[in-house]
Amino acid sequence: MSKYRPLESNFSVGPTLYIDTEARASDLLETATHRIKAARNLLNSITCLCIKDAQGHDLEHFANAAHILIQDGCEALNALGWKLEIKAG
């Protein structure tokens, strides 16, 4: 496995954002936790939003941001899983 894996949330033609698969387990967990909690808080804000007050593409923008945060968090958790499996194996 290569040291740097491109994130699936890259939207450019070529990958520009990567995750360090050799990062410390605590750093991977902290990264995942931070992004997933940020997405949770963003989605919580949507639950407080009155749909009739939403303008234009507001909900689409919220959903897109939450998706990117959750995707990145899940990839950090995957990298943590690989690291723990390698150490266990």
Asked whether residue 19 is domain-assigned, the answer is no
Domain range for 48: 25-88
Asked whether residue 38 is domain-assigned, the answer is yes
Contact present, 73 and 33 (Cβ < 8 Å): yes
Phi-psi region of 55 (alpha: psi -120 to 50; beta: other; left: phi over 0): beta
Number of domains in the chain: 1
| Tens digits of pLDDT across the chain (89 residues) | 689 999 888 778 888 899 998 999 999 999 999 999 999 999 998 887 777 777 778 788 888 999 999 999 999 999 999 888 876 65
Asked whether residue 63 is domain-assigned, the answer is yes
Asked whether residue 31 is domain-assigned, the answer is yes
Asked whether residue 75 is domain-assigned, the answer is yes
| Phi, psi for 30 (deg, rounded to 5) | -65, -40
Asked whether residue 56 is domain-assigned, the answer is yes
